[in-house]
Amino acid sequence: MHELALVSSLIEAVTEDAERRGLKKVTYLSLSVGELSGAGVDSLDFALRHLTSGTILEGADFNVKVASSLCECKKCQQIFKPLPPFFLCPFCRSGQTVITAGRQVYIEFYEGE
């Protein structure tokens, strides 16, 4: 379950930034999780609720948004939404495609006091 390591890193990043800004408590955290990231939204939510205990994020509200995936065809330059497990271009049927969005996990923003 790599979500635990991922959430630990996110907590560390938010904590460092919040403390640098003079915040004592983080009240809200919004995350963006790509649908191809391999991170399960339910697992992230579970990890957030349990790993934030005793931290600056304890009691914060969390919002985990799923970001859509996109691919670009290197043959015909079309952008399209992939249909995993196959990433063939629906326009020219080429397999020369690159995932351009949907693998990320990042902090959109947080609020605190």
Strands 61-67 and 26-34: parallel
pLDDT of residue 86: 84
- Identify the structural domains of the chain with CATH numbers, from first to last: 2-69+102-112 (3.30.2320.50)
pLDDT of 1 higher than 80: no
pLDDT of residue 83: 87
Q: Summarize pLDDT for 19-76 with one digit per residue, the tens.
A: 999 999 999 999 999 999 989 889 999 999 999 999 999 999 999 999 999 999 999 9
pLDDT of 106 higher than 80: yes
Question: Residue 10 phi/psi, 5° resolution?
Answer: -65, -40
